[in-house]
Structure 1
């Protein structure tokens, strides 16, 4: 039997019951979920689902992440609600792939852990299963393991085994509908620097990889949650003022951005937790040891040489930081050394060389959030 798997929480108890019902059957877990967005979330769910299969002694196969084919399949159904037509197409897409895999593998029946999810329609799944049987000549087994306390037992099992519990169905349209009233949807944001941000999918993926290492070495651990102040930089622009001789000779009195001369883009790097309520234009009040203090909005400019000195780095210029940035932990450490506090939200901007006048525009969000922490005993 090939069991299509969607996530560890639904797969765990479902596979456990399958093994009880089919003690002599070879069950293969087939993780096929090209609907999941982003790819890092796909890998995280696959990682934890494979872990549960290992615990239950079930062979695990990760299917192809064919996201483009899924997008084509649900085109025109982007605004459908949960359990609507888009979900039905999605089920059909996954179960067809499972049936094709079963035929190649020499298996004569399939099932799916989607049947375990209270968020999915068993009626939809059973209907699709009948079509699959007619089309591929393969049986579709559809047990209802939710009944007789199954859903409660599923949750207990998930808690006991410390499974990864996602907070959205998986697809980009589902998450948009579910979280559109939130101030920010973390799952849809990724930094150009490719840093691992706090409470991001990428951070959770690293945590769950480390958890596997602890289990392999036999170490005890616990995954807990903590409240903290999260941050996302949405966009940032830093310009410096240069005097334009051309402006003075050909267009006397012409202004650029409200002042004689012109503003040019400055190569800069904006540090984590840099928050600005509105755009600011002004000048550097004074510079001390490579650190320049702006005359407005508590903005701090730091030259690359000072940045290197404090963090023991060897960046030649600011552009190199973007290509190979420090970790967020290092950025927070740097902030504390510059401001003497962990709680500063003052914009800190790294530049190659401090100029006299600047225009700074930063759009960022600072918000309460929850993150997972892995504790090893």
Structure 2
């Protein structure tokens, strides 16, 4: 495939937009989009119009298109991608990247218009407790449709690659999620709550059943720990499960809700005694990568995904999905401070090359070039960086 003077044009859709950062997909759009621009790619991101009071056409070199949506709980995301897909297929973009397996059926539109496409399908959405009945069936069906309509399926872990092969007989390319290691963080964000470094355990994630905060809290409170358990995260709607957790009356619990300041979030990660990761479904989890990048001792639910990320116990301990197991691992962690020190000392080394954003961007660029049928001219400075990364 010869290099071309033509500028590669890539459209990205399915997240909330750029530079909006709320969750994992939005972070990926930002980190990936900015790096692609530096590599000479024209990047267009489809933004959810209702979230952007100001609508500049270009931000940091990324073209932003503000697409409408049908603003209901079940239709907002799907309708936004539908309108975005129509717009992209009628434009001159070379490749379309879609995130979220819920958007699987919309690949039919790009098939009709003969636009090359890739989709990042994320995790086992159809197994999540919040998607009951029709929602679960829709996600399973949509994931299957993604394998039929999109030119390239992208999974973010080897385990998810296996799942898609087993369930849908579909091959996929594994491109992990990235993280940025941080060496230091201001302890003042923690100390203002009257808490010193390593005086608390930490949970970070949405308060939804499949993240198992309820079981972690129950087991922790049954332990003899004198430390606090700090919970960062919430849900953006009224919810019985989240409300029940936040109403638990115990001095050892501290619910902080959402933290949008990156420096503050880094401080809570960096200075915790240990980080609990109870996420049950999905591939490469952004919260776990942050924990590695911030140098945490990690206590994780024993799943194939978490085993893969922590290299089968090299970078953390595992617990089972029970309050007793949480109690036991809490007390074991408290009684072995040297082991926790060791996990903290090697955590950042767990961010192997596949978990770095520069490498992630290079992997996506290869996919886009293959789909477009030509290679792009990478600016000289970036070309040197890429040359060092290629194994």
> So what's the TM-score if we normalise by structure 2?
0.29
Q: Which has the higher helix share?
A: 2
Largest Rg, 1 or 2: 1
Q: Say which structure is richer in strand.
A: 1
